[in-house]
Amino acid sequence: MFTYSLDEYTELRPLAMEHTKPLFELTDRSRDQLRHWLPWVDNVTEIEHTSNFIRNALKQGADNGGLTAGVWLKGDLAGIIGFHEINWTNRSVSIGYWLGKGFEGQGLMTSACRVLVDYALVTLDLNRVEIRSATNNKRSRAIPERLGFVLEGVIRQAEKLPKGYVNHAVYGMLQHEWELLR
């Protein structure tokens, strides 16, 4: 099972059913900031929605199709990072992530992302990692930019959020590029 210490206070741990309550509470506390960028937030209104998310993440992991981990800081759940469905045929994957209110600006997600990119391109021997972010989401876009990803383009009106459609910046990292950066 994938567990990784980022430093003495921070670690990545796979989600488990016992994380349902802390994940629901983090989502609920962070709802106002998350709804600007994540379309699912307003549909998570009951703890059962969170348990269904974790159940699906566990099934995807068991089927070797993905990985979803909590980012834990000093024992508190700070956010989520994970692989969307791994495309084994093309040896590629995209990464999604979010941090809860009060945990931003500490470098947590950049560190977590670095670990998952390394895991994907080195351990799993995938060829490509992609990160998409709303073009106006400067904090989210800064993560792939800090890690040396290439901005490959913009997809217009890629996602519908409560306030309307947003464009997505698409960032990519290839295995041979990552090897040069390590």
Q: What residue spans define the domains of the chain?
A: 4-181
Instruction: Kindly provide the residue ranges of all beta strands, DSSP E only, lying in 36-87, ordered along the sequence.
Output: 67-73, 76-83
- As beta bridge partners, residue 99 has 79
List pLDDT tens digits, range 11-36: 999 999 999 999 999 999 999 999 99
Please state, for a pLDDT cut of 70, what percent of the chain lies above it.
99
> Where does the pLDDT of residue 2 fall: very low under 50, low under 70, confident under 90, or very high at 90 and above?
low
What is the topology classification, in CATH, of domain 4-181? Aminopeptidase (3.40.630)
Q: Calculate mean pLDDT across residues 39-52.
A: 94
Per-residue confidence band for 62, with pLDDT thresholds at 50, 70 and 90: confident
Token pair belonging to 94: 């995209």
- H/E stretch holding 158 reads strand 150-161
Reply yes or no on whether the pLDDT at 1 is more than 60: no
Q: What angle do CA 64, 69, 73 make, to 5 degrees?
A: 160
Give every strand in the sheet of 67-73, ordered side by side. 4-5, 10-14, 67-73, 76-83, 92-99, 128-134, 164-174, 150-161
